[in-house]
Structure 1
Amino acid sequence: MWTPDWLWETLSWLGIGGTRAKLLFLGLDNAGKTTLLHMLKNGRATILQPALHPTCEDLTFGFYRFTVYDLGGHTQLRRLWPDFFPEASGVVFVVDAADPERVAESRVELDKLLAKKDMLSTPFLVLGNKTDDPNALSEDKLRQKLGLVQTTGKGKVPLENARPIELFMCSVVERQGYDEGIRWLSQYL
């Protein structure tokens, strides 16, 4: 049954129901993780400095209350990522689709995450960000380069014991695509 967003937000605001989840925002530096976090929190794009250390924010998105950890994407910060894996409800992995030269590096990091034993059942939302850039890869090309040809499907329930994983293309600064991806991820939390 479909319920209007305003009803879920009102119920969450009143403290009735709602699901709490711990989300990790991961990806390479300059992919748009911090911009996405600020967009979700404040509703506007802000010019930001790259994350120099992990940050944490509590957000409400519809019926869900998220504790979001933006862990940064510089090589040194990536070493800290495993410290946050325990009890992670889901991962939002952001890829700069307008920087094709770094997509291979993104794939290496994503493959490492997907292979972690303590993350085998964790749902993954992969956001191909910066589609507003004319140099951005298409969804099909990004899927191929990331090895995400066989994913869960945007409207399907995964097979039993299969990790939910899906790619959504988005432009955080244009406010497009990421909300659909977060709704998709929310069904697995």
Structure 2
Amino acid sequence: MGLLSILRNLRQSPEQQAHLLLLGLDNSGKTTLLKQLASEDISHIVPTQGFNIKCVQTSGFKLNVWDIGGQRSVRPFWRHYLDNIDVLIYVIDCSDRTRFQETISELTKLLEEDKLATVPLLIFANKQDLTTAISASELVESLNLHTVRDRMWQVQACSALTAEGLQDGIDWICKHVTFKKK
């Protein structure tokens, strides 16, 4: 088989893709998580002003990820990014107990959005590398997730800093989400 045939086959093989929205409070680790997934350097992360967009290739899937800033002043604009989302990824800093009520409130608002009805939810229980972090199972209880019945959901313990647990979350997406043909 010649090079031209190989290129034609590659071009004809439909790549599956999904649009992911990455949200969470400021300092939850969203950008670090996204840079880890994209195999980029994480030694210098600055707070996201606005948004970041990255395409992550994994296991034959193309994940188009929108990382939107989590500062209080930016959160009202989250709703402008909810169209055509295949998966909502919500990142929680599990070591910051002082902000649990705030993050629960923001997540609850998102789950009430009509545009996100039935959209699968992946929650990354981030900063598990810190001794002060609550576990993923404690987070499930805190968020009262057992009452969420209108969508698939998963809580994945992770550390964006060490990348532990990130691939497990992406594997869940690849297994449970209906992908679109490119």
Alignment counterpart, residue 99 of structure 2, candidates 92, 97, 102: 102
Unaligned stretches of 5+ residues in structure 1: 1-13, 153-161
The runs of at least 4 consecutive aligned structure 1 residues that moved more than 2 Å come to: 14-18, 42-47, 149-152
Q: Say which one has the larger Rg.
A: 2
What is the aligned partner in structure 2 of residue 25 from structure 1?
22
CA contact (8 A) 1:103 1:146 kept: no
Unaligned stretches of 5+ residues in structure 2: 1-9
TM-score, normalised via structure 1 length: 0.82
Secondary structure, counterpart of 1:93 in structure 2: strand
Percentage of identical aligned residues: 30
Q: Distance in 2 between matches of 1:63 and 1:151?
A: 30
Structure scoring higher RCO (CA < 8 A, sep ≥ 6) equals 2
Secondary structure, counterpart of 2:159 in structure 1: coil
Alignment counterpart, residue 62 of structure 1, candidates 52, 59, 68: 59
Q: Distance in 1 between matches of 2:61 and 2:32?
A: 20
Q: For 1:1-189, what aligned pairs fall within 5 Å after superposition?
A: 14-15=10-11, 16-150=13-147, 162-186=150-174, 187-189=176-178
Q: How many residues align?
A: 167
TM-score, normalised via structure 2 length: 0.85
Q: Distance in 1 between matches of 2:86 and 2:43?
A: 27
Q: Distance in 2 between matches of 1:64 and 1:121?
A: 21
Superposed displacement of residue 170, structure 1: 0.5
